[in-house]
Structure 1
């Protein structure tokens, strides 16, 4: 009778309406309880019995319960679940299939199998799943998921890579090979450049070689540079399925010890690759550079050609020859003289770019060494040597020459653009510069390419200020018309030198060939640029993801081992640091910086931490740290100071 009592129902409704409600994000604690953080950063405790109905990262709404002057939160409605799509491991409990999400080792979710999944799932298999029902959406408070894609067996040696690729919606294999034939019309007009002593410089393991170089000089002491770029587009048309797959992939995937080509392997690693002693179709740029390092654009020629690379050289052997006089093993008479000229030209161009454009500072690179079981055994820190600089400068020259031709003769293409500082941050940039007594530029000048270049040269010897300014920079983007690339210091910049590996370069290749052959063409569609941008973000996240997990794997047995670290970010919780010997990113929490929290002041915008009103740490500081904790499943690396500083 009470259940149907209208007065009781009305009372319940009144109580419901009177109970305060909020919404926010769930933050789970490893001990079972959790917290709700609202948009205005207020936090409410959630008891463990209520945490069973939510997962970390869920956005929920619910009621605030006050008891004994203490407030807690009880979730009622799911707004957006963090488990919409997730990786998980299949388990069976009394013949009922469940899935355990990868970041929730104690959460067993009832699981169905999608009818299109053509794989017999067994215990331990990893799958990609989607959430069908959230626990807050039914009376039984039950999560229900559906397995959509098989990822790998739990024992697969490349499980870490396969999970990373699936997590970021990336393919695990190259497109299927098929029978490709050359474009006969293009073949008939190709010039024979096979007598030119082209050669490649790449890593020893590289198979998809898409550029080869050669150099001489003339009587005016001009450098006569020839750059051959592989021509994959001569094997398939823009309307083909192969081209559509290339659009969707946008880039070849390069993860440590794991490469997945954008194009079918028969093209990327064989028919198009500029392998030594193999005749290949290419587009050759013949570029003249004067003794001041300037490109003479009027003398530039682009030609459809046949080329034959005479040698495959590695970065290490070229650098060893130039820097240490170690003899080359390749018996080509012109190579020693060519390498001497390339060294001269690279240094000349670096000087030219430092005066007329901008040059990126050299950074260390880190190479992962694996055993036959794909276990990370060592990490080598490698500095950029002369061979890397030669290749980089020659490709910049080729891309600048290409950009000039596209901008002046066609007016469209796929251009890389960078607008310097975000317009909305210019006032903050000006304030920071004023604090550093840098006042020669107005806000309006700072928004221009010339103003940006002036600032960069002004702060070249102030790495801390340069680092602090980075957070105000816009991101590199793409456009179909020429626009400035502030970070390179150029009025426009487009690339075409990696058509095997990048779809944007492949599309630009087609446009260049249309100009050479006097064919009509149309601007790239904006949707293509959107796909390229999204794919680039996914690849960067995947690389960061797997690197962090590999570092965690490598450091898991090195607790209390000492490393030199550099502070790269400061936030409310502490400092992010890079272990300079191996490149790993770790976190140094405030609790391990100083034992008394009230004595610490965090100033993230200023990039410093003070203790007892004394600046003790700031961005780019070097510290000696030891590994304190490596969290499960590569979730993070925690370090502590090797020795606490003495603060008076």
Structure 2
């Protein structure tokens, strides 16, 4: 009989355990071998190295409290919820055994692993795989053990960061594998479509855009009225409801745009060829025509949607059009027809922009950064991409026809996929008014809970140009949502709003396309979309956002490690105040940095952080607040946690 299996000792151990108080919490690891247990009652208990071997960061466990060397420690007894189930990790080879190191930075355990389908010699040290934790030391067997489920990418593959991040967030890494042929009867609805191929539609996109989904034609009716026609590519002509292709698009919900890389919602043959509004090729489309008055208002009684054939007469780029309007460079429109369309589009932009500034609200642009890659996918540079006049012209036209779509769907059906924003709830409206009073700005909660009052407040704050006040208001606002029924979009300042201009790239727009098309064709008993569709769209949008964030963090680490940043001073914009430091963004390249408290002020007791109000006090005086521009230098770059640590210069 072994020592471990001695029934008398086991019984004695159980009796001893009953004497100690039990507690439940979540394990937190440290850089060293010890850890802590954080409980629901905000108490923290020490876990010695000998016990940390049996748990990992993030595990929810039960244990009992022991006293050792006059200190309370936790003895882990039972696993409640493991932190790892399915996870991504890199292969580590030791003594002919395979181990996996989790991609989660604070999980430092090397996990013994194996695979039924992948042979050992196929996996090299550093290769990336997906695995499932099947054994835990607090369960039946006294070890961590995982089964490899899927091989992801070789370590030496330059696209490894992209594939790892996509796998981690359960996103596809390639376009749908559906065979597309011209067996689609492209002309089966020809009689139902108006032939507009004689009109001078133009497209304006980035230089390398292939999935072109909108084209514009404008006619000056009188000196005080313009006819705006926006033609949107019609993938519903090929993607029928409940088909295999539709189910794939529904599941993906979006074309995912990552730095240097995109994964289409639809097969590239459709999105970049058959449906794309390429120049001089006849394409099926849904057209919205609307009259824009000289004061910038939309004639809601003159909104019309119809099916059409269109032919783009020119593929223009944002850069060329902007340069021409700003009298830069050598590019000129190829003929007077194209020139006239650009000039008319600029006129519509001017009057619509003025109208929105006066009656709605226009948010200031957020900085956008572009990664520049070598042929081997190394980051060469990161540049700030300014949105120029051509971007704004197209955006203004798309916003106008999105308002038209929302109005059309509301009137004809009373349902669709609407983008909504409810401004402030009553609790936050009261707090907003209290906060504004500190700056001698007087508003009543009931006033700013109306669409008109909300827009008035936002325009007021924009005029006084106080970034800190703007930040605080933003923190009080509700989040944007998607609704099946029409409701206001406070943040944009519209009574109703629904997007439909990117059906090649967004499933929500594809749904609105189908609804609009059903109305045009006079169909009866049109089926309302379900909440499950909205839930999936929200899920996929969140996954895409997180994937972008994680990949950019990885790429910034790569870039700055190869970049001579030592002794270089950067400007940074404070974006958040935490309990133990400042989060900021480098203005030059957009990298996110963290400034811990000890790199802000060397006397810690004089330093106080107020995350709720976005301020840092030193010796009872405000020293830093959100929206401030500060000077920093980089201290260290942590690849494992993808964090850039900086110090105030």
TM over 0.5: yes
Tell me the SS of whatever aligns to 1:455.
helix
Match in the other structure for 1:645: none
- RMSD of aligned alpha carbons: 2.3
Match in the other structure for 1:108: 110
Deviates more, 1:539-548 or 1:101-110: 101-110
Give yes or no for the alignment of 1:563 onto 2:570.
yes
How far is 1:427 from its partner?
Answer: 4.2
CA distance in 1, matches of 2:48, 2:11: 29
Match in the other structure for 1:453: 455
Match in the other structure for 1:122: 123
- How do residues 88-103 of structure 1 correspond to structure 2 at under 5 angstroms? 88-103=89-104
CA distance in 2, matches of 1:538, 1:527: 17
Deviates more, 1:19-28 or 1:281-290: 19-28
Match in the other structure for 1:590: 597
Match in the other structure for 1:311: 314
CA distance in 2, matches of 1:536, 1:408: 28
Match of 1:410 among 403, 410, 413: 413
- How do residues 78-227 of structure 1 correspond to structure 2 at under 5 angstroms? 78-103=79-104, 107-113=109-115, 121-124=122-125, 125-140=127-142, 142-176=143-177, 177-180=179-182, 181-182=184-185, 184-227=187-230
Tell me the SS of whatever aligns to 2:491.
helix
CA distance in 1, matches of 2:592, 2:419: 29
Tell me the SS of whatever aligns to 1:41.
coil
Match in the other structure for 1:646: none
Give yes or no for the alignment of 1:500 onto 2:504.
yes
How far is 1:9 from its partner?
Answer: 7.1
- How do residues 513-552 of structure 1 correspond to structure 2 at under 5 angstroms? 513-520=517-524, 521-552=526-557
- How do residues 240-255 of structure 1 correspond to structure 2 at under 5 angstroms? 240-255=243-258
CA distance in 2, matches of 1:92, 1:145: 14
How far is 1:10 from its partner?
Answer: 7.0
Contact conserved, 2:576 with 2:626, CA < 8 A, in 1? yes
CA deviation vs aligned residue, 1:610-636 (integer Å, no higher than 9, x gap): 111111111111111011111024621
Residues 334 and 328 of structure 1: is their aligned pair in 2 closer, same or farther, counting only changes over 3 Å?
Answer: farther
How far is 1:184 from its partner?
Answer: 4.4
Contact conserved, 2:324 with 2:332, CA < 8 A, in 1? no
Give yes or no for the alignment of 1:628 onto 2:635.
yes
- How do residues 130-529 of structure 1 correspond to structure 2 at under 5 angstroms? 130-140=132-142, 142-176=143-177, 177-180=179-182, 181-182=184-185, 184-422=187-425, 425-442=428-445, 444-460=446-462, 461=464, 462-520=466-524, 521-529=526-534
How far is 1:589 from its partner?
Answer: 0.7
CA deviation vs aligned residue, 1:566-609 (integer Å, no higher than 9, x gap): 11100111110010111111101111001110111111222111
Contact conserved, 1:441 with 1:451, CA < 8 A, in 2? no
Contact conserved, 2:418 with 2:485, CA < 8 A, in 1? yes
Give yes or no for the alignment of 1:20 onto 2:27.
no
- How do residues 58-69 of structure 1 correspond to structure 2 at under 5 angstroms? 58-69=59-70
Residues 355 and 198 of structure 1: is their aligned pair in 2 closer, same or farther, counting only changes over 3 Å?
Answer: same
Tell me the SS of whatever aligns to 1:372.
coil
CA distance in 1, matches of 2:587, 2:24: 41
Match in the other structure for 1:36: 37
CA distance in 1, matches of 2:217, 2:5: 90
Tell me the SS of whatever aligns to 1:405.
helix
CA distance in 2, matches of 1:42, 1:435: 37
Match of 1:641 among 634, 638, 648: 648
CA distance in 2, matches of 1:4, 1:207: 69
Contact conserved, 1:182 with 1:234, CA < 8 A, in 2? no
CA distance in 1, matches of 2:550, 2:640: 11
Match of 1:614 among 609, 621, 637: 621
Instruction: List runs of 5+ in structure 2 lacking aligned partners.
Output: none
Contact conserved, 2:98 with 2:120, CA < 8 A, in 1? no
TM-score norm. by structure 2 comes to 0.94
Contact conserved, 2:314 with 2:338, CA < 8 A, in 1? no
CA distance in 2, matches of 1:119, 1:15: 45
Tell me the SS of whatever aligns to 1:556.
helix
Q: Aligned pairs, how many? A: 639
Contact conserved, 1:550 with 1:634, CA < 8 A, in 2? no
